[in-house]
């Protein structure tokens, strides 16, 4: 039976390390942040989501699209939960191309809550051309598309440093401690005070990085709060049912013998 | 199947139907089906697997209502499901994690069979149908992983379909035929979607045959001996086995729900949330976890054709396992030498899975090669030889005796008692 235990230990070991072994590259491990939305009952910090949206709108959105989100999502439960008026105002602040009209002409009109987020460039090629050959990735599911998730995005935002001595960087390439390969074509996007928060929070780089990462995490998983809530209920229900079925099983099998 | 009295419907309508289509007789057979009473929890995975298949089919049908199989629209349609379809996120996460849970259960089911010798005579056909199901599951899972049209979808499809180009002479033509184009492209996606929808129903048909073939000899059991049916060694399937399967299924569902609700993406690869881009190759192309041991075998051979042959050989060798195993004793409980090789084999497969996730270089490549060689040695050398030379432990005459005898008064058969 010794071998059996060995196999058990080995398999448990494998399962524990498995999520981390698939992605290994030369980079510093991301900073671990104690996000409010992690854990079984995790929820987004509403104020942080609203501030994060402001950072996205005023900083990120000049290059990064977010094509799978609609303005109405900003008012839905589990998100930034802006009021209907605020959502309408946010949507109306952009001009959306629509049409063709009855004359066959395209026209522009103010955005509506049902519109998708307006992309900064008409297509991917335009975004690459405008950004020195680097594609600014769409941010809708960016947090899920990176191995470290929220921690990684936050780390890259605060990870700009002077390159180590002897490292040559081309024009338009910047050193980032946490980026895969340590080279990034986006200049440091956040500078102290680059946005002005209406709730009086100090707009430090660290604060903005946390806020916008929270916002991006919600954008990638808008169902997160509902998922956590439903999950708790489902598992409690399953456990209760399991206990009942276990007791029934004991009772039924007691007709045969006590061993089962 | 035989030996117990014919079922007679009580109602007139029941008799009318049953004379024309004996569905009620079938129902009575399924509920009365005499099952060994000493089945342990490793035997509950058959029921769990049925649940997994039905879950995948039901969630899959709903997903197909909203998914768009087109290279330009597939990724966006998956996001549409996640964001705009009512409970779309739940249905999709059940489906994507369901695939992993399905494989987890099938691996336990297969390794249970390997431990207790369930593949041996007279159950070879059950085993072979099971392996056909397993092969179709791998095809379905692979094609399903392509459908979201993320980076890992695209490059996984490219790597796997390229394997066929290793076939001499006609390889390139076959690959082009599979793609429906000169690379993985929209025609590849649409045919994969079509086949992904078809295969589960083929599996369902094979599951019916699998259960039918099972009901001819009846279940194997942990002691591995033939038992009289029905007898004091058996219990009717309902309610004894149904309630036990239900209990095990609920425990399984708790684990399942844990993944779906709290870490829905941990078993997937983050690159698959990047839309497919034929111009950018991911740093490491890795298949889903359940295919990793075979991926390790594939990459352990320096020659492409050789790697493909060994990878498929690793699966097809299982088909002849009933004839490679020479032991007359089924259950490893009474096979002290095989029991140890069994656990070494389990560790070998886990190790292959581990190195399959790592880059194919340095120590990982060495481990992959050692693991691959041992994998085949286990079937070609260990199984035949251990069966011939192993001195097995005494085998009980019936299930009831070791269970009820309390240890001291076990009446045991002679050692090596020929046909069990």
Q: Which residues pair with A183 in a beta bridge?
A: A175
Mean pLDDT of B91-95: 98
Which of A73, A227, A253 lies closest to B89 in CB terms? Answer: A227
Say whether B343 and A4 touch across the interface (CB within 8 A): yes
Neighbours of B74 (CB within 10 A): 24
Q: Which long-range contacts (CB under 8 A, 24 or more apart) does B205-209 make?
A: B206/B129, B206/B132, B206/B133, B206/B136, B207/B50, B207/B53, B207/B133, B209/B129
Q: What is the pLDDT of residue B331?
A: 96
Which CATH number covers residue B407?
Answer: 1.10.287.980
In a domain, B101, yes or no: yes
Which of B89, B265, B347 lies closest to A223 in CB terms? Answer: B89
Q: Are residues B141 and B243 in the same domain?
A: yes
Q: Which of residues 116-155 of A touch B (CB under 8 A)?
A: 137-138, 140-141, 144-147, 149
Say whether B246 and A14 touch across the interface (CB within 8 A): no
Domain termination site, one of B231, B249, B284 = B284
pLDDT tens digits, A214-233 = 999 999 999 999 999 999 99
The residue with tokens 């649409």 is B190
Q: What is the pLDDT of residue A28?
A: 84
Q: Is 70 exceeded by the pLDDT of residue A22? A: no
Contact B368, B297 (CB under 8 A): yes
pLDDT tens digits, B225-258 = 999 888 889 999 999 999 999 999 999 999 999 9
Say whether B82 and A223 touch across the interface (CB within 8 A): yes
In a domain, B15, yes or no: no
Mean pLDDT of B341-359: 97
| Closest to B296 (Cα-Cα) out of B363, B206, B368, B378 | B368
Domain termination site, one of B284, B311, B337 = B284
Q: What is the pLDDT of residue B6?
A: 78
- Using the Cβ of A41 and the Cβ atoms of chain B, whether some distance falls under 8 Å is answered with no
Contact A78, A226 (CB under 8 A): yes
Lowest mean pLDDT, pick from A26-40, B52-66, B136-150: A26-40
pLDDT tens digits, A80-90 = 999 999 999 99
Q: What is the pLDDT of residue A256?
A: 84
Mean per-residue pLDDT of chain B: 93
Which of B261, B344, B350 lies closest to A230 in CB terms? Answer: B261
Q: What is the pLDDT of residue B414?
A: 38
Tokens encoding B31? 């509920």
pLDDT tens digits, B129-160 = 999 999 999 999 999 999 999 999 999 999 99
**% of residues, chain B, pLDDT over 70:** 94
Q: Are residues B333 and B234 in the same domain?
A: no
pLDDT tens digits, A103-129 = 999 999 999 999 999 999 999 999 999
Neighbours of B77 (CB within 10 A): 19
Say whether A19 and B266 touch across the interface (CB within 8 A): yes
- Using the Cβ of A64 and the Cβ atoms of chain B, whether some distance falls under 8 Å is answered with no
Q: How far is A155 from chain B (nearest CA, A)?
A: 17
Residues in CB range of B169: below 8 A, 6 or more apart: none
Q: Are residues B297 and B390 in the same domain?
A: yes
Q: How far apart are CA B234 and CA B83, in angstroms?
A: 51
Give the three-class secondary structure for A70.
Answer: strand
Tell me how many domains chain B contains: 2
Q: What ipTM score was computed for the predicted complex, to two decimals?
A: 0.90
Q: Are residues B260 and B397 in the same domain?
A: no
Q: How far is A143 from chain B (nearest CA, A)?
A: 9
Which has more pLDDT, B411 or A195?
A195
Q: Which of A3, A127, A139 to mutate to probe the B interface, most B CBs <10 Å?
A: A3
Say whether A256 and B37 touch across the interface (CB within 8 A): yes
Q: Are residues B365 and B227 in the same domain?
A: no
Which of B254, B273, B354 lies closest to A145 in CB terms? Answer: B273
Residues of A in contact with B266 (CB under 8 A): 19
Residues of B in contact with A7 (CB under 8 A): 343, 346-347, 350
Which has more pLDDT, A166 or A68?
A68
Q: What is the pLDDT of residue B406?
A: 42
Mean pLDDT of B388-395: 94
Q: Are residues B291 and B181 in the same domain?
A: no
Residues in CB range of A149: below 8 A, 6 or more apart: A143, A217, B270
Say whether A144 and B273 touch across the interface (CB within 8 A): yes
Q: Are residues B220 and B337 in the same domain?
A: no
Which CATH number covers residue B245?
Answer: 1.20.810.10
Stated as kind and residue range, the H or E segment containing A17 is helix A2-21
Q: What is the pLDDT of residue B1?
A: 43
In a domain, B105, yes or no: yes
| Chain Cα centroid distance, residue A234 | 25
Q: In 3-state terms, chain A is what percent helix, strand and coil (to 5)?
A: 45, 5, 50
Mean pLDDT of A148-157: 96
Domain termination site, one of B267, B284, B301 = B284
Say whether B243 and A3 touch across the interface (CB within 8 A): no
Contact B356, B375 (CB under 8 A): no
Range of the domain at B365: 286-420
Q: Are residues B232 and B381 in the same domain?
A: no
In a domain, B7, yes or no: no
Q: What is the pLDDT of residue A148?
A: 92
Cα angle for residues A79, B90, A57 (degrees, 5° grid):
25
Q: What is the pLDDT of residue A259?
A: 52
Say whether B343 and A7 touch across the interface (CB within 8 A): yes
Mean per-residue pLDDT of chain A: 89
Q: Are residues B108 and B176 in the same domain?
A: yes
Mean pLDDT of B111-127: 97
Q: Which of residues 201-220 of A touch B (CB under 8 A)?
A: 220
At residue B400 the predicted structure's pLDDT band, cuts being 50, 70 and 90, is confident
Residues of A in contact with B235 (CB under 8 A): 256
Q: Is 80 exceeded by the pLDDT of residue A242? A: yes
**% of residues, chain B, pLDDT over 90:** 90
Q: Is 70 exceeded by the pLDDT of residue B404? A: no
Alpha helices in A93-169 (DSSP H): 124-130, 149-158
Q: Are residues B164 and B299 in the same domain?
A: no
Cα angle for residues B91, B96, B102 (degrees, 5° grid):
110
Say whether B254 and A238 touch across the interface (CB within 8 A): yes
In a domain, B257, yes or no: yes
Q: Are residues B315 and B262 in the same domain?
A: no
pLDDT tens digits, B258-301 = 999 999 999 999 999 999 999 999 988 999 999 999 999 999 99
Mean pLDDT of A91-108: 95
Residues of A in contact with B40 (CB under 8 A): none
Q: Are residues B300 and B366 in the same domain?
A: yes
Q: In 3-state terms, chain B is what percent helix, strand and coil (to 5)?
A: 65, 0, 30
Which of A10, A24, A220 lies closest to B350 in CB terms? Answer: A10
- Using the Cβ of A8 and the Cβ atoms of chain B, whether some distance falls under 8 Å is answered with no
In a domain, B177, yes or no: yes
Contact B145, B152 (CB under 8 A): yes
Q: What is the pLDDT of residue B272?
A: 97
């Amino acid at each position: 039976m010794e071998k059996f235990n060995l196999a058990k230990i080995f398999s448990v070991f494998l399962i524990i390390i498995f999520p981390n072994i698939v992605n290994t590259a030369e980079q510093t491990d991301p900073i671990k942040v104690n996000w409010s939305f992690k854990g079984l009952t995790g929820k987004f910090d509403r104020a942080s989501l609203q501030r994060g949206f402001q950072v996205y709108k005023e900083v990120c959105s000049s290059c990064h699209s977010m094509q799978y989100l609609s303005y109405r999502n900003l008012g839905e439960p589990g998100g930034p939960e802006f009021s209907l008026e605020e959502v309408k105002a946010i949507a109306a602040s952009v001009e959306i191309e629509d049409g063709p009209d009855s004359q066959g002409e395209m026209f522009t009109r103010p955005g509506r809550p049902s519109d998708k987020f307006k992309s900064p460039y008409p297509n991917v090629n335009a975004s690459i051309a405008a950004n020195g050959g680097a594609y600014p990735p769409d941010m809708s599911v960016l947090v899920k598309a990176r191995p470290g998730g929220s921690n990684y995005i936050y780390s890259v935002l605060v990870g700009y440093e002077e390159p180590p001595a002897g490292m040559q960087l081309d024009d338009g390439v910047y050193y980032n401690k946490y980026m895969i390969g340590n080279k990034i074509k986006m200049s440091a996007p956040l500078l102290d005070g680059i946005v002005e928060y209406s709730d009086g929070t100090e707009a430090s780089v660290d604060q903005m990085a946390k806020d916008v990462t929270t916002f991006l995490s919600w954008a990638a998983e808008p169902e997160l709060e509902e998922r956590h809530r439903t999950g708790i209920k489902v598992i409690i229900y399953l456990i209760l049912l399991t206990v009942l079925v276990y007791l029934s099983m004991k009772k039924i099998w007691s007709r045969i013998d006590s061993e089962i | 199947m035989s030996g117990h009295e014919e079922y007679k419907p009580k109602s007139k309508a029941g008799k009318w139907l049953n004379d024309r289509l004996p569905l009620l007789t079938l129902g009575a057979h399924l509920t009365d089906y005499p099952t060994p009473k000493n089945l342990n929890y490793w035997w509950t995975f058959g029921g769990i697997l049925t649940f997994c298949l039905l879950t995948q089919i039901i969630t899959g049908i709903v997903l197909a209502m909203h998914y768009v199989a087109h290279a330009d629209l597939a990724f966006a349609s998956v996001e549409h499901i996640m964001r705009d379809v009512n409970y779309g996120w739940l249905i999709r996460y059940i489906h994507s994690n369901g695939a992993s849970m399905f494989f987890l259960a099938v691996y336990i089911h297969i390794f249970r069979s390997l431990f207790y010798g369930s593949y041996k005579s007279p159950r070879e056909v059950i085993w072979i149908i099971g392996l056909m199901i397993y092969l179709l599951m791998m095809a379905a899972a692979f094609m399903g992983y392509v459908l979201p049209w993320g980076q890992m979808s695209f490059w996984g499809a490219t790597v796997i379909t390229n394997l066929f180009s290793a076939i001499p002479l006609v390889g390139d033509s076959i690959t082009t035929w599979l793609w429906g184009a000169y690379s993985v492209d929209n025609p590849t996606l649409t045919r994969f979607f079509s086949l992904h929808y078809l295969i589960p129903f083929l599996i369902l048909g094979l599951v019916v045959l699998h259960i039918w073939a099972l009901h001819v000899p009846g279940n194997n059991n942990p002691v591995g001996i033939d038992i009289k049916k029905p007898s004091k060694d058996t219990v009717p399937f309902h309610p004894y086995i149904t309630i036990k399967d239900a209990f095990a299924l609920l425990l399984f569902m708790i684990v399942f729900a844990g993944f779906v609700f709290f870490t829905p993406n941990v078993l997937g690869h983050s690159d698959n949330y990047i839309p497919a881009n034929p111009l950018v190759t991911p740093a490491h192309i890795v298949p889903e976890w359940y295919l990793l041991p075979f991926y390790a075998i594939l990459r352990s051979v320096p020659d492409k054709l050789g790697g493909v042959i060994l990878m498929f050989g690793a699966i097809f060798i299982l088909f002849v396992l009933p004839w490679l195993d020479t032991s007359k004793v089924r259950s490893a409980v009474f096979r002290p030498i095989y029991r140890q090789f069994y656990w070494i084999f389990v560790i070998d497969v886990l190790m292959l899975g581990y190195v399959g996730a790592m880059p194919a270089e340095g120590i990982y490549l060495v481990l992959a090669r050692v693991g691959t060689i041992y994998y085949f040695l286990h079937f070609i050398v260990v199984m035949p030889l251990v069966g011939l030379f192993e001195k097995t432990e005494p085998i009980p005459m019936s299930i009831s005796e070791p269970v009820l005898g309390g240890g001291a008064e076990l009446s045991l058969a002679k050692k090596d008692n020929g046909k069990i």
